[in-house]
Structure 1
Amino acid sequence: MYLKLAWRNIWRNKRRTLITLASIAFAVFFASITQSMQLGTYANMISNSVRFYTGYAQIHKSGYWEEKSLDNSFALPENITEVLAGNKSIAGMIPRVESFSLVAYGEKAKAAMLIGIDPMKENELTSLKKRLTKGQYLAGNENSLMMGQGLADYLNVSIGDTLALIGQGYHGINAVGKYHVKGIIETPIAAFNDQAIYLPLATAQFYFGMEDQVTSLAINVDDEAKLERLKAHINNQLGSDEYEVMTWREMMPELVQQIELDYVSGRIILFILYIIIGFGMFGTFLMMAKERTYEFGILVAIGMRRMRLKLLSLLELVMLSFGGVLLGVIISLPILTILHFNPIPISGEYAEVYKKFGIEPVLNFSISPVIFTDQATIILVLSLLLGIYPVWHIHRLRVVEAIRS
């Protein structure tokens, strides 16, 4: 009965109701777009920095992260692969060898970051094959390499050219080799474009003189929410101080801080937006209460309890608020879905800024359910807070004065 009465009361003044619904819907739409863009940007940053390089977690030899030396590499014991292979939370395990060497072609030379990879497994984590701009992807244990576009431009090399690599290998031995350029890639991380060279894992191990050794085992997961539990499980199963397990948040604290800082600034903008919305809603609720003063006086005079009248008035405000939220979600969801699957490319100066921060220059949008539940929660809290005035107005109502008005 109360719901039916509240619904009828809302539509007694259709113009006012439609204006209120439109204002709330617009606010929800704008807030959803803002929050979706924020979360989409964070996902893009994490994808570029985490999925493309570190993985969601890594296993190293103890002390490797503090001193990234080939001497701190380790041979993959069978118990590690058995522990990880049996865990359903793990989507992939990627062994790597990482170090630095001098790369030379003709009269030019430059320090480069050498990464030994299992081509097939690496592609599962980073989709590296899609980053190819020229040539072919590495096939296996071959005497070839892939390199970043920026490094290729600096050395002025092309597909089929031969590069000379000179560096320091395992336990200080000399590392020297010549390798054909099989592919050139372009990544969203500027440092990789300018420095990265990819070799097949066995080729890199032979080059550095570290047979069957790796510097890290990157782990990919399907659900990041289970990451800490996964880390604890791996530590418990390994049961040794010889290895260390680190999540991407521990390996890249600067990225976490950057996201947290930006998230706070975004919340401040949304807070200001909802203050503006709140004033608009309060104006509407104020008019509704004032316009119905005579009606409230008559209802109280004929015997309707004030508590029931307060409940009915509050129910009207909540229904009106959620109607605006629902309309805003209906408008924003299709648009955000289209933008989610079709990110907006960024060009010009802004694209260069994105690349400097190691982010792919595209504007991503998220369709996480939390975007819409947040709006519903905020609007509900606002309507309940603003509903205090109509309730107070009914509580202080003087029947004779209300009827004479």
Structure 2
Amino acid sequence: MAAFWKLVWRNVLRHRRRSLLTCASIGLGLAAVMFGQSLMKSIQRQMILKSTGVMFGHLQIQVPGARDPKVPDKLLGNSRRYLDLLAKDARVEAASTRLLFTGLVYSAAASRGLLICGVEPEQEKRLSIIPNYLTQGRYLGESPRDIFIGDKLADELDTYVGEKLVVLAQSKSGELNSELFRVAGLFHSGSLSFDAQIAYVPISMAQKLRGAEGQVSYVVVRLTDVDLSLEAAQEWTERLKDFGVRVLSYEDIALEIVGVQKFEDAIMIVALIIIFSIVGLGIWNTISMSFFERIREFGLLRAIGARPALVFKLLVAESALMGLLGIVSGLILGGWLIAYFGRYGLDLTLKEAMSYFIPFEAVIYLHPVWRLHLWAVFGSFTVCILASLGPALRGARLAVAKALQHI
């Protein structure tokens, strides 16, 4: 066996430049795949963290039958019992209630239509990242008539911290209710949807405006890990099946985010097919050239008693060796790229594209996704083996007499 691999190694080194180019193509292809996988999953991860952090949470408990799960039109009563049950789950980091509805906000200078979000101020700090975007004033909590708005909405209303605003909304009975608020603080998330179209008020005042005392749109839950969302949603659905409610994970609510993820995954699959095809052609070309240059050598091997299987194994082993060398170099290069951009970040233009929907950072910090990277390694090696089968089969079927006559 040692003699066999010594022969394989010698054959690979016979044309060093060609072998080096082949290994380089495999390595660069694998590094590109690893970088693409890491970039795509890092972008998707940030989309999930931002969307769950600003609005959706990891889980929501709602009344079934709502037309839009983002802003349920059916209200949930007796929310305290769900909060008490959730408090006993070690996976739950925070849970609270929200009441969402549309309304009008008036200042002395202008008026705007917007989404009113009634929250429990202290709990919301543990659930949402919106309080972290505070730029002026303070967050909710000191007065039931506080209102927390985006800086873009403040500009449109020509209002400032400390000034009064009137919020007008339709109650459940169809009557128009209005309440006076004072601007407690301004935030800037970088998202047009949040900075110009949403206002946060204490949930007690939101219930008063809506005429929905003791009722909420949903119970929102933040888990210790977003990856537990699907498992927890299924478990809580079973536990609450007799309560007349439904438990949704963020994937059931943020359908746009899920759609973007599926689209990006499809693009990645197409890119993988293209890169692996290029790698496969490179290996096939190298092994084919090696075969044609050594036809007489293979004929001599057969003439002195070597079996066809030996020729087949030689060519496949040469391809496997170049594949392994290329994979090692690709892992080193790909790992270095991911580590570098994981530390220093990659500046993308996605912030402007995504900012209408959710706050999105301009700099993406990559992280390895070893489950996918290992599949890329397996795919690269498999392509190397498959690409060598054609030339290897031709070598195994080679006629000895014709091979010895080959020049």
Report how far residue 386 of structure 1 moved: 0.7
Q: Which amino acid aligns with 2:158?
A: N
Map 1:314-393; keep pairs closer than 5 Å.
314-346=316-348, 351-358=351-358, 360=360, 362=362, 364=364, 365-393=366-394
Partners of 1:339 and 1:169 in 2: CA distance: 51
Partners of 2:122 and 2:80 in 1: CA distance: 21
Partners of 1:261 and 1:161 in 2: CA distance: 45
Report how far residue 172 of structure 1 moved: 4.6
Partners of 2:336 and 2:143 in 1: CA distance: 47
Distance 1:308-1:248 versus aligned 2 partners, 3 A rule: same
Alpha-carbon contact 1:167-1:174 (below 8 Å) kept:
yes
Partners of 2:346 and 2:296 in 1: CA distance: 54
Report how far residue 196 of structure 1 moved: 0.9
Match of 1:266 in 2: 268
Match of 2:397 in 1: 396
Distance 1:260-1:66 versus aligned 2 partners, 3 A rule: closer
Alpha-carbon contact 1:189-1:356 (below 8 Å) kept:
yes
Structure 1 residue 62 and structure 2 residue 64: aligned?
A: yes
Match of 1:276 in 2: 278
Map 1:145-164; keep pairs closer than 5 Å.
145-164=147-166
**C-alpha distance after superposition, 1:55-77 (max 9, x if no partner):** 23210123345595676232214
Structure 1 residue 72 and structure 2 residue 88: aligned?
A: no
Distance 1:71-1:236 versus aligned 2 partners, 3 A rule: closer
Map 1:27-106; keep pairs closer than 5 Å.
27-66=29-68, 72-78=75-81, 80-106=82-108
Alpha-carbon contact 1:343-1:362 (below 8 Å) kept:
no
Alpha-carbon contact 1:101-1:165 (below 8 Å) kept:
yes
Partners of 1:130 and 1:203 in 2: CA distance: 23
Report how far residue 400 of structure 1 moved: 3.7
Partners of 1:192 and 1:104 in 2: CA distance: 18
Instruction: Give the counterpart of 1:137 among 139, 143, 146.
Output: 139
Report how far residue 323 of structure 1 moved: 1.9
Alpha-carbon contact 2:137-2:161 (below 8 Å) kept:
yes
**C-alpha distance after superposition, 1:98-136 (max 9, x if no partner):** 112221111311122111223343333332233223232
Structure 1 residue 300 and structure 2 residue 302: aligned?
A: yes
Alpha-carbon contact 2:75-2:216 (below 8 Å) kept:
no
Alpha-carbon contact 1:336-1:366 (below 8 Å) kept:
yes
Report how far residue 30 of structure 1 moved: 2.1
Match of 1:116 in 2: 118
Distance 1:229-1:35 versus aligned 2 partners, 3 A rule: closer
Alpha-carbon contact 2:170-2:176 (below 8 Å) kept:
yes
Report how far residue 162 of structure 1 moved: 1.9
Distance 1:96-1:395 versus aligned 2 partners, 3 A rule: same
Report how far residue 203 of structure 1 moved: 4.3
**SS of match in other structure, 1:219:** strand
Partners of 1:248 and 1:215 in 2: CA distance: 15
Between 1:361-370 and 1:231-240, the stretch displaced more is 361-370
Partners of 1:229 and 1:125 in 2: CA distance: 19
**C-alpha distance after superposition, 1:185-232 (max 9, x if no partner):** 122532212111112334434554544432111223345554333223
Distance 1:363-1:264 versus aligned 2 partners, 3 A rule: farther
Q: Which amino acid aligns with 1:278?
A: G
**SS of match in other structure, 1:11:** helix
Between 1:63-72 and 1:337-346, the stretch displaced more is 63-72
Map 1:157-236; keep pairs closer than 5 Å.
157-169=159-171, 171-172=173-174, 175-224=177-226, 226-236=228-238
* Structure 2: gaps of 5 or more residues: none
Report how far residue 283 of structure 1 moved: 1.2
Number of residue pairs matched? 402
Partners of 2:211 and 2:53 in 1: CA distance: 28
Q: Which amino acid aligns with 2:98?
A: R
Q: Report the TM-score, using the length of structure 1 for normalisation.
A: 0.87
Alpha-carbon contact 1:118-1:201 (below 8 Å) kept:
yes
Q: Which amino acid aligns with 2:322?
A: L
Between 1:170-179 and 1:105-114, the stretch displaced more is 170-179
* Structure 1: gaps of 5 or more residues: none
**SS of match in other structure, 2:61:** strand
Partners of 1:280 and 1:359 in 2: CA distance: 43
Alpha-carbon contact 2:117-2:201 (below 8 Å) kept:
yes
Distance 1:243-1:49 versus aligned 2 partners, 3 A rule: same
Match of 1:14 in 2: 16
Partners of 1:279 and 1:174 in 2: CA distance: 70
Report how far residue 20 of structure 1 moved: 1.5
Distance 1:145-1:346 versus aligned 2 partners, 3 A rule: farther
